[in-house]
Amino acid sequence: MLRQLLLLLSRSPAVKGLVTRVPVSSAIVTRYVPGEATEQAVAATTELAADGLQVTLDFLGEDTLDQAQAESTVQAYLELLEALGRAGLARHAEVSVKLSAVGQALPEVGERLSTDNARRICAAAHQLGTTVTLDMEDHTTTDRTLATLRELRRDYPETGAVLQAYLHRTEADCRDLAHEGSRVRLCKGAYNEPESVAFTDRHEVDRSYVRCLKVLMAGSGYPMVATHDPRMVKIAAALATRNGRMPGTYEFQMLYGIRAEEQQRLARAGEQVRVYLPYGDEWYGYLMRRLAERPANLTFFLRSLVSQ
């Protein structure tokens, strides 16, 4: 119930107005978002890379209905990629893009515009020798996001995408995408989805995650195991061994600020580990999804809000 409420509020402009009075510097925000500016994102990436971790950076923003806003998001990614290049981080970092941040939700032109915008980001990443992964948003966008992925892969076959194990369709999507050269980031799923399209029971989501992992690990693509769940991490490692995969032919991924010690432990054990690092001032939707996953943080968060 609380999870659903928080996910509903994550899309409420009124609550967003209230909540974003919390400064980005407050502890609850910085736990998940290291800063607003490109320099802060690059500095955080440098620190993670020094610890032997890979990074994927997300310039925060989503659901834009404003073409100028979509363009400024593209510019932010281009600036970020340039800064990563200057800092010598191209081997350690890639970027993650939400198509709704680059215009997907705009009426009529959205699909074309977001694909073209994502292509510009892919071109800059490719030039730098790194990659782009498309985030997955709510289920109404899955088909369009996968269509964009197919189009981008024609020119930039290294482009990856996220699949969400809570959706009934995902095991089949994993089969379609478990081919040579394909990069799939498998997560459980973070949106408020109806029972008609998604498993809503936690255990059912976990079982689906394992079925999807089995398909990806047995396939010839590059599975990116995005979870903090110790059971899923163990099962993924066992499936990798069973399928004769060496570390580096798959990777683990976790969010910035969540189970940081486990990220380092896995990296020290020789696994490839990538940290998803969001930055920017549009942190509201992202933070609300993190609170929905961990309502225990809510009291802490409400305290920061009333102390403003």
Is position 136 annotated in a ligand binding site?
A: yes
Nearest C-alpha neighbor of 275 from the set 12, 49, 28: 49
Question: 163 forms bridges with which residues in the sheet?
Answer: 186
Q: How far is the CB of 232 from ligand FAD (least distance, A)?
A: 6
Q: How far is the CB of 154 from ligand FAD (least distance, A)?
A: 22
Is position 17 annotated in a ligand binding site?
A: no
Q: Is 211 a catalytic residue?
A: no
Residue 210 corresponds to which amino acid?
Answer: V
For ligand FAD, the closer CB: 82 or 229: 229
The single residue of 119, 144, 183, 185 carrying the catalytic annotation is 185
185: part of which helix (H) or strand (E)? strand 183-187
Q: How far is the CB of 207 from ligand FAD (least distance, A)?
A: 13
Is position 16 annotated in a ligand binding site?
A: no
Beta strands in 200-302 (DSSP E): 222-226, 251-255, 273-279
Nearest C-alpha neighbor of 160 from the set 132, 187, 141, 139: 132
Tokens representing 77 are: 């990614």
Q: How far is the CB of 108 from ligand FAD (least distance, A)?
A: 25
> What does the binding site for ligand FAD look like in residue numbers (CB under 6 A)?
135-136, 162, 164, 185, 187-191, 226-229, 253-255, 258-259, 276, 290, 293-294
Radius of gyration of the chain from its Cα atoms, rounded to whole angstroms:
18
Q: Is 154 a catalytic residue?
A: no
The single residue of 135, 138, 173, 206 carrying the catalytic annotation is 135
CB of 50 within 8 A of CB of 272?
no
Tokens representing 215 are: 């398909």
For ligand FAD, the closer CB: 91 or 294: 294
Known binding-site positions: 98, 136, 164, 188-190, 227-228, 289-290
Report the catalytic residues: 135, 185
Known binding-site positions for FAD: 136, 164, 188-190, 227-228
